[in-house]
Amino acid sequence: MDTSAQLKQIQSFVNKLGVMRLKDLIKAVRNCKTAADERAVIAKESAFIRTQFKEENNDTRHINVSKLLYIFMLGYPAHFGQIECLKLVASNKFSDKRLGYLGIMLLLDENQEVLTLVTNSLKNDLNHSNMFNVGLALCTLGNISSIEMARDLSSEVEKLLGNTNTYIRKKAALCALRIIRKVPDLMENYVERANKLLNEEKNHAILLTGTSLLTEMCQMDKNVLNDTRKNVPRLVRILRNLITNNFSAEHDVNGVADPFLQVQILRLLRLLGHNNVEASDLMNDVLAQVATNTDNSKNVGNSILYETVLTIMNIESEKSLQVMAINILGRFLSNRDNNIKYVALTTLCQVASILTDSSSLQRHSSTIIDCIKDTDISIRKRAIDLAFILMNRQNIRVLARELLVSLETTTNEEKAKISRRLCECANRYKPNKRWEIDTVCRVLKIAGGYVEQDVINNFIRLVSTSSTELQQYATSKLYNILCKREDNIECQEGLQLATIWCIGEYCDLLLQSPLDDSLANADEDENNTTVTNEIPTENEVVDLLEHLLEGSSVTNKIKQYIIIALIKLTNKLDPGSRGRAISLITKYKTNINLELQQRAVEFTSLDTLSDDIRSVVLDRMPALENIKENRKQNLGVSESSLLSSDEQLDTKNSNDLLGMILGESSSTSSNTKPLEKSSSSSSNIMDLLGDIQMGTSSMPPLTPSNNSSSNNLVNQMDNLNLMNTSIPPKIDQNNSLNNLLSLGNIMQPSSSSTIQPSNSTTSITPSIAEPKKEENVLYYKNGLKIVFDAYNENPIIIALKTKYIADPSYVIDKINLLVAVPKSMKLQINPPSATVCTPDSPINQLIKIANPSKAPIKIRIKLSYATNGRQINEMFDYSSFSESLWT
């Protein structure tokens, strides 16, 4: 050792003096008694590290970066260490590199520009002679690669995939997996090598990573999938060897041979056998072998059985094998281990649709009911899903009772979903109408604060189409629930709305003695209610409305419902009570809410009209019947055909009503037509009626200007008409329209989600004919909805008229849409009409696809936009195009 080297070493030692070691920092932090102490220690040390970084001290960099990573883990800022990590990576020392790459993986994410600086270091290390340096680089690239890095370094990884060192090859395989995830175009460079990895049947790590890589490729590309089928016999052989042959201690987990590899192979087989009889036939035997030979006493064995079941259910497997799979799930379901139970429920939900007959599932319904009551939300959620799938006319009473119980305890977000589905099922499988009314009432009582508007609308329709006896029954039932004036009941907005509507419509029935005594008996599902329903007096009814109007949980929407109910009551009450109702309305003539104010003004002036006009205006609503049939018709034809719905209505009543209003309002009627359908004046009103029907069924696309609020129209028919007569001229047209449509600031954003086809009531009636020119939803998230119209310009060119729509109160900015099509197609994207999308100004964009080979069209979308200051990047595939576009 010569002196200069010694000197250097001493110098380096001196440099490190005065620098706190990592261990000391951790101890200091752990000794902090309070969070403030901790912050102080960190702040001081961060400042120290910062100055050290500025001094470019090579000897202390390692220590300082490792301290900084610790600080970062505690949740404090550490971005100023990014460049230092790069410097460490560039060092010749392995320990520096190791820490540097760790820092890069922790401190940098894909979107940071610093990342481009890493590319060069990675390239150097990928070509390094030391396998561990290569390993570090592959690991870093595999974990944080961006699109640019993937492109730049792909050829290096390709080369390494053929390296003789298995340590490098396995890492390169997973690195390749990341690269093709980022840049799917690069996939073809890897296909051959990936298939070759399977040749190394003795090496588990290579087999495992190779299978993972192939699985990813097969998911992404059909051609690779078809090509990989040639490997089925090999995969089957590997799997069979694993379960039958030689025990290898190195890969044994609790007596199961390499479960990780087994699962990965099963997963790949699932893709290869899906919709392919030939490949499936090759697998049947080995799947049966795995299903019978795997030890099911431990988690590890069950993880394989679980994967096997999924594979069996997703390929063209033999019937006997499917029975075996269902039996395994049955055993899972009765397993005491909750994890096993959970996966059984999840899997059953998935396979229930594949099963041709659900009787094998129905056998387990008692277990499923037990799971509905489980305290564990994961299990409960899945069990509830499954219960809805299994629900039918025979078991709905039992299942609904359990679901109602679970509704009381579940989380608020769940309440909305369960309520909606329960009401839908109640409608579809109801044993009788009264049962449906009872059930929905209970739903509203438990979760009325969380249900969406269309649940209430459907209930209103249900009551309105029932017999008079049932209308009376429902009204007095609801009235009695609210009469108890319990806070936890009164906070259920949905319950209030339904009750108020019923009182408004059927108050006269409420004030009569029961028409059908048998109905008044305690309902089956709620035997605890003491039905001492005395007939209320007029005053009591108005009292209740007044109480609700001034209650603590009143909302604008409730106020609106109440005001309408009150004006409707004036038709049915004695003069004394009528005066009270009017004076309650009068209070709102000066309300700050424009909608309420306007209604109050209109209603009070309505009250001054002559009795016969008033009584007709305020007469009971016609029954909202046959919604589904109407909708079928309407969907099948164009917008204007809404008119046809009037034929379905019992029109005598409404015609009277409408005729009268038309007589008075012809001068302003054009002002108020929200639907821009000018036609004769009577069709104008019919439009409204049509719309009302549309509204309750939550099918917005036909009323372009008011998709979220058409629901409200239902209950406001009279108002709409009234508005014709009395819109103050000073309110400009747009404004009043908007108000009319949104009727106060009511519709929560969540209600817009009800419009999604998947949730909407379409699911009840799958038989509904699809409209010719359907609106396809390409994307709907974060308040941005992208829909398109697809049509053939000529047999080869397909045009996609794309429209970006922002949900109310959303502003979507910096929209950038990239589209990729398979190689056989050509693409032309026209620039969008704007880059900022607001609820009032949707954006249009035309995309054309040339498809000379007439292949099924699929596109990959890369979408980026900003909303609420958040940048969102999405990538997804879309292939649900109508086949008629290319056939």
CB of 802 vs another protein, minimal distance in Å: 24
Binding to another protein (CB under 8 A) within 304-323 occurs at: 306-307
Nearer to another protein, 163 or 597 (CB): 163
Nearer to another protein, 142 or 832 (CB): 142
Nearer to another protein, 330 or 514 (CB): 330
Tokens 């990590």, residue located: 85
In whole angstroms, give the CA distance from residue 289 to residue 312: 12
Binding to another protein (CB under 8 A) within 413-442 occurs at: none
Q: Does 119 bind another protein (CB under 8 A)?
A: no
On whether the CB atoms of residues 853 and 820 are closer than 8 A, the answer is: no
CB of 342 vs another protein, minimal distance in Å: 4
Q: Does 178 bind another protein (CB under 8 A)?
A: yes
Helices (H) and strands (E) in the chain, counts: 43, 10
Q: How many residues bind another protein (CB under 8 A)?
A: 75
Nearer to another protein, 73 or 594 (CB): 73
How many other CB atoms are there within 10 angstroms of residue 244's CB atom? Answer: 11
Among 111, 432, 521, 527, binds another protein (CB under 8 A): 111
In whole angstroms, give the CA distance from residue 204 to residue 198: 10
Among 14, 39, 47, 109, binds another protein (CB under 8 A): 109
Among 31, 47, 94, 609, binds another protein (CB under 8 A): 94
Q: Does 58 bind another protein (CB under 8 A)?
A: no
Stretch that binds another protein, among 71-79, 323-331, 507-515, 592-600 (CB under 8 A): 71-79
Q: Does 261 bind another protein (CB under 8 A)?
A: yes
Q: Which amino acid is at 751?
A: S
Where do the DSSP E strands lie in 167-266?
252-253, 256-257
Binding to another protein (CB under 8 A) within 282-301 occurs at: 299-300
Among 378, 480, 555, 753, binds another protein (CB under 8 A): 378
Among 71, 271, 326, 340, binds another protein (CB under 8 A): 340
Q: Does 877 bind another protein (CB under 8 A)?
A: no
In whole angstroms, give the CA distance from residue 188 to residue 176: 11
Going residue by residue from 200 to 229, which x/- string records binding to another protein, judged by CB under 8 A? ----xx--xx--x-----------------
Q: Does 649 bind another protein (CB under 8 A)?
A: no
In whole angstroms, give the CA distance from residue 548 to residue 570: 18
Q: In 3D, which of 522, 534, 528, 558 has the Cα closest to residue 438?
A: 522
CB of 547 vs another protein, minimal distance in Å: 39
User: Residue 554 belongs to what H/E stretch?
Assistant: none
Q: In 3D, which of 468, 471, 450, 449 has the Cα closest to residue 459?
A: 471
Q: Does 354 bind another protein (CB under 8 A)?
A: no
In whole angstroms, give the CA distance from residue 27 to residue 44: 15
Binding to another protein (CB under 8 A) within 694-713 occurs at: none
Binding to another protein (CB under 8 A) within 792-811 occurs at: none
On whether the CB atoms of residues 544 and 481 are closer than 8 A, the answer is: no
Nearer to another protein, 69 or 569 (CB): 69
In whole angstroms, give the CA distance from residue 300 to residue 254: 7
Q: Does 36 bind another protein (CB under 8 A)?
A: no
Q: Does 17 bind another protein (CB under 8 A)?
A: no
Across the beta sheet with 797-806, what order do the strands follow? 776-781, 784-792, 797-806, 843-850, 826-829
CB of 36 vs another protein, minimal distance in Å: 17
CB of 174 vs another protein, minimal distance in Å: 4
CB of 85 vs another protein, minimal distance in Å: 13
Where do the DSSP E strands lie in 396-452?
none
Parallel/antiparallel/unpaired status of strands 859-867 and 870-878: antiparallel
Stretch that binds another protein, among 32-40, 174-182, 397-405, 606-614 (CB under 8 A): 174-182
Q: Which amino acid is at 199?
A: N
CB of 302 vs another protein, minimal distance in Å: 6
In whole angstroms, give the CA distance from residue 573 to residue 582: 11
Going residue by residue from 129 to 168, which x/- string records binding to another protein, judged by CB under 8 A? ---x--x--xx--xxx-x--------------------x-
Which residues pair with residue 847 across a beta bridge?
800, 829
Integer angstrom CA distances of residue 865 from 783, 812, 844: 11, 7, 15
Q: Which amino acid is at 592?
A: I
Among 375, 513, 879, 887, binds another protein (CB under 8 A): 375
